[in-house]
Amino acid sequence: MRTILVVDDDPLARLHLERFLKREGHAVLMACNGQEGVEKFHSHAPDLVLMDVMMPQMNGYEATRRLRAESADADVHVPVIFLTGVEDQESLAECLRCGGDDFLSKPFNHVILQARLNAWLRRLELAEKVALDREAVENVIVKLRKDDRFDPFMMRYIMTPVEKTTGDLVLSARDESGIQYVLLGDFTGHGLVAAVCGPLVSDIFHGMVLNGFAPLEILQQINKKIHDRLPVDMFMTTCFVALDRQAGEMTVYNAGMHPLLLCREGGGWTGPTSRLMPLGIARELALEEARAVMKVQPGDLIYLYSDGVYETQSPQGEFFGGELLDQALVRIATTGAPLESIHRALELFRGNDNQRDDITLIELKV
């Protein structure tokens, strides 16, 4: 049994549809105008909507736009079928432009309506199965990405994906001498496809760090595996840091990432720009030429961030990265504010736009 929401200001039409739908074995919700329809859509989560066009308070076009906008992140798309008395081509086309999926002109034929309902409910059943399968895969990936070898020594980090899983990757481990290796990776795209690549890199990183391999060897092996095992359009921008607190220096390899930021006593200094192409594009990399060394001292804070932070855009198309980002990170370093405070700055900057890319921010203390 499916739940169907009928939105129509004509009480006789509502009664007629209610009887017909109940005979077909469906549960029925009723709304007498667009505003009530939007409210019942969100409070009762119907499986399908039958929508009239011309109604008081809010017409069907506007009601459909609102329920589409307010349910944009839903896992399953709820079909909206317009049942309308309008006949001109422009009005019928608007039924689809506003977010509707189909339309039938009144007075409608019961056989045709039943066939349309069955067709859309079959699509809904398939979409629900795909969503369940996707959720199962996401749960597996989330489990695989958890690694007991991860060592968050002297670091804070946040990861905020666009979807349930993230294409960003944060890895940290220390070798026997106490040097801390931190890798921030950002795979092509975001979501499920990008997230599935993370365990491959994590296994190589942790295994090689704990067995005493040098950064050059670790990065070269990660690069070869991505190149050999993943499709040609999958690669990973990377910032790899080897922090030697005892020696007071930090070795940095930047492969396609924006520069890291080092904060000391309220000031900020950017790290090396990218000297490598992202990992996985070419099988061999000139890693020795890309090596950069920065002097550090106790109390310094180092910030690494993914593209989702730097490339958040304002309504005018400007990037958050640059001076605004530096100011936000220096403020966090100076005040000790939670890293989550970056979200508020990004929300204010992008206005009404939604988050478009995975957001990852790492703070590493010397």
* CATH 3.30.70.270 for the 147-365 domain, yes or no: no
Across 91-109, average pLDDT: 90
308-328 pLDDT, tens digit per residue, is 999 999 999 999 998 999 999
Return the higher-pLDDT residue of 165 and 358. 358
Across 181-206, average pLDDT: 85
Task: Sort 210 into a burial class: Cβ within 10 Å, 0-12 / 13-18 / 19+.
Answer: middle
- Whether 340 and 302 have beta carbons less than 8 Å apart is answered as no
Across 115-139, average pLDDT: 86
Q: Give the per-residue pLDDT at 11.
A: 93
- Whether 264 and 232 have beta carbons less than 8 Å apart is answered as no
What is the pLDDT confidence band of residue 165, given thresholds at 50, 70 and 90?
A: confident
Lowest-confidence segment of 21-35, 138-152, 178-192 by average pLDDT:
138-152
Helix (H) or strand (E) holding 134: helix 110-145
Most confident of 64-78, 188-202, 232-246: 232-246
Cα pseudo-dihedral 330, 335, 340, 343, rounded to 10: -50
17-62 pLDDT, tens digit per residue, is 999 999 999 999 999 999 999 999 999 999 999 999 999 989 999 9
Q: Give the per-residue pLDDT at 74.
A: 79
Angle at 347 between CA 155 and CA 134, to 5 degrees: 75
What is the separation of C-alpha 78 from the centre of its chain, rounded to a whole number of angstroms?
21
Q: Is the pLDDT of residue 145 over 80?
A: no
Question: In the chain, what percentage of residues exceed pLDDT 90?
Answer: 73
What single letter denotes the amino acid at residue 347? E
Lowest-confidence segment of 4-8, 58-62, 68-72 by average pLDDT:
68-72
Strands 27-31 and 3-7: parallel
What single letter denotes the amino acid at residue 281? I
3-139 shares its CATH topology with 147-365: no
Q: Is the pLDDT of residue 99 over 80?
A: yes
Contacts of 103 (CB under 8 A, 6+ apart): 81, 82, 83, 84, 92, 95, 96
Contacts of 362 (CB under 8 A, 6+ apart): 155, 156, 157, 170, 182, 184, 303, 304, 305
User: How much is the mean pLDDT over the chain?
Assistant: 91
Contacts of 127 (CB under 8 A, 6+ apart): 76, 77
What does the domain layout of the chain look like in residue ranges?
Answer: 3-139, 147-365
What is the pLDDT confidence band of residue 355, given thresholds at 50, 70 and 90?
A: confident
CA distances from 196 to 14, 110, 148 (A): 48, 47, 18
Q: Is the pLDDT of residue 106 over 90?
A: no
- Whether 278 and 226 have beta carbons less than 8 Å apart is answered as no
What is the pLDDT confidence band of residue 105, given thresholds at 50, 70 and 90?
A: confident
Q: Give the per-residue pLDDT at 141.
A: 65
* CATH 3.40.50.2300 for the 3-139 domain, yes or no: yes
Q: Give the per-residue pLDDT at 349.
A: 94
Contacts of 106 (CB under 8 A, 6+ apart): 13, 83, 84, 85
